[in-house]
Amino acid sequence: MSDMLSHPIHRRRLLQGGFAFGAAVLGRSTSLSGLAENATATPELPTAVIRAVTGTPKHALVIFIDGGHPELYTPEHAPTITALGKLGTIFTAASVGFPSDSMSNIVGAFTGATFTENGLLYDYFYDRKFGQTIQLDETPKLPDGVKPTDLILKPTLFQAARAKGLRTAFISKHPAYSILNGPTAGGPGIDDFRGPEIADWKGTQSEYDAMTFGLLREQILSGTPPDIMGLYALAPSGAMKTSGVDSADTVTAIKFIDDQIAQTIAALQIAGSYDDTVIVITADHGNTPTPKWIPQEGTGSISAFLEMNGIPVVHVTPDDLYMVYLKDESQTNAAIDLLSKPENRTPFGIDHILTQDDLKSMDAAPVDRTPDFVVVPTEGIVYAKKAKAAEHGGITAADLQVPLVLAGPGVKAGAVVADPVRIQQIAPTLAALLGLGLPTATFPPLAGGMVNGVATPAAPRATPVA
């Protein structure tokens, strides 16, 4: 650890805006109302120098930026991220899986497996084995005695790292993201998991992100930093949903996150681990502008219409898609036929309907958790409780396309890869670079971005279809 780190002024400045909250944000029971004022601080920090690395791959940092839209990450809006891309590899055709949900895609990025294989399609779904709705969000709902880690089927990169004696950490918006520990039977994969509940936060999303990035920098500068660490940043997607994808608020949020990443790189440099750290910047999904909304339930909704026609619904998952679980699965064809009539498609904004066979072909059909069908709306429509400027979950290019940048030791410098790739290739890539075993991953590494690799696009079966 450098002399700069040991200097109390430099250490205090770098960690302000989050670190001091430490264990106080580990669970939902903690009140977060008093943290926003501290998190808004903009302390003077040592300058991060985005430069070529000289080490070998020993550590990894993965940052997910909620909301996607790689076209917004320009040198003007995101100078740190674009500088990393110039020194590493930029993937210009990166995408997430369908449905374009946060949790299922982040899980996939750390397992290297499909939604079908992971057993997770969304953070809000119906499980026919347990006969109930399951929620892995701000209002968690689980069967008695069941933990989030009981729901994931494939081991994660965190478990592979711990098996090799490495330390791990992850920071996210809900305690339910502890699912990234991996299957319960494999033992916990994350040494230091932080899940401060965003629903309990009294400040802005940017202030929340300042706090979580502060926690990340605390981990880096702790003297025993994690070898594999990750963080899920929220502000850009929040701005897109309230103000619009192309809004000034979205640009402000992206600039803010880029600055937080710069401060985090400064922490890596102070800790002396920058040259040995592989850095991954990506997103969990994109967002599609949604100027029109249709009720997700009650009067005017698809579920109410089906009920009126003698087809009871047990659960729906709405966003800019509509996942339908029927009480009686044998009524699936009747429901699809009814909704496919021209006089019904228009008022409900239906573009087309995906069957379970379609979902299987898209690797989006986990056992007991696959909807009976999925309504894909006309682009620009969201099924919700109220209007939103943008939303995700669907199959549009705006929902699926995400930024993806790799930089650090073992990564090709100055490379641009135009082959289609998926974020599920992140775990196999890091496993290959760090010498970890992850044999259960079914996606290939991002070899096009590796010094010792050749361009390897994602398998065709993993590409969503319209």
How would you classify the pairing of strands 373-377 and 350-355? antiparallel
329, 352, 387 - which closes a domain:
387
Q: Return the residue matching tokens 């710069």.
A: 262
Secondary structure (DSSP) of 213-253: HHHHHHHHTSSS--SEEEEEE-HHHHHHHHH-TTSHHHHHH
Backbone angles phi, psi at 75, to 5 degrees: -55, -30
pTM score, whole prediction:
0.90
How confident is the model at residue 452, as a pLDDT? 77
Has residue 421 got a pLDDT over 80? yes
CATH number for position 383:
3.30.1360.110
Band (pLDDT 50/70/90 cuts) for residue 84 is: very high
What's the DSSP call for residue 211?
H
Statement to judge: residues 368 and 411 lie in one domain: no
Token pair belonging to 118 = 């992971």
Which of 50-64, 100-114, 226-240 has the weakest average pLDDT? 50-64
Statement to judge: residues 178 and 162 lie in one domain: yes
Give every CB contact of residue 370 below 8 A, 6+ residues apart in sequence: 121, 356, 359, 360, 364
Statement to judge: residues 80 and 154 lie in one domain: yes
Residue 297 domain-assigned? yes
Statement to judge: residues 285 and 302 lie in one domain: no
How confident is the model at residue 47, as a pLDDT? 67
The one-letter amino acid code at 379 reads E
CATH number for position 13:
3.40.720.10
What angle (nearest 5°) sits at the alpha carbon of residue 163, between those of residues 159 and 165? 115
Residue 392 domain-assigned? no
Statement to judge: residues 67 and 95 lie in one domain: yes
355, 387, 419 - which closes a domain:
387
Arithmetic mean of pLDDT, 385-412: 97
Statement to judge: residues 139 and 87 lie in one domain: yes
Residue 362 domain-assigned? yes
Statement to judge: residues 33 and 137 lie in one domain: yes
Band (pLDDT 50/70/90 cuts) for residue 466 is: very low
* Alpha carbon distance 323, 395 (integer Å): 13
Statement to judge: residues 124 and 253 lie in one domain: yes
Residue 171 domain-assigned? yes
Mind listing the pLDDT tens digit for each residue in 197-227?
999 999 999 999 999 999 999 999 999 999 9
Residue 178 domain-assigned? yes
Contacts for 132-141: CB closer than 8 Å, 24+ residues apart? 133/315, 136/103, 136/174, 136/176, 136/177, 136/179, 137/174, 137/176, 138/174, 138/197, 138/198, 138/199, 139/199, 140/174, 140/175, 140/176
Has residue 42 got a pLDDT over 70? no
354, 387, 420 - which closes a domain:
387
Mind listing the pLDDT tens digit for each residue in 117-173?
999 999 999 999 999 999 999 999 999 999 999 999 999 999 999 999 999 999 999
Statement to judge: residues 232 and 156 lie in one domain: yes
Residue 346 domain-assigned? yes
User: What's the domain count of the chain?
Assistant: 2
Residue 125 β-bridge partners: 134
Residue 351 domain-assigned? yes
Statement to judge: residues 273 and 318 lie in one domain: no
Structural domain boundaries enclosing 329: 292-387
* Alpha carbon distance 15, 42 (integer Å): 11
CB 426 within 8 A of CB 109: yes
Has residue 463 got a pLDDT over 90? no
Residue 130 domain-assigned? yes
Has residue 338 got a pLDDT over 70? yes
Band (pLDDT 50/70/90 cuts) for residue 454 is: low
Q: Return the residue matching tokens 């249709």.
A: 294
Between 462 and 376, the higher pLDDT residue: 376
Statement to judge: residues 141 and 268 lie in one domain: yes
Token pair belonging to 353 = 């309907």
Statement to judge: residues 189 and 103 lie in one domain: yes
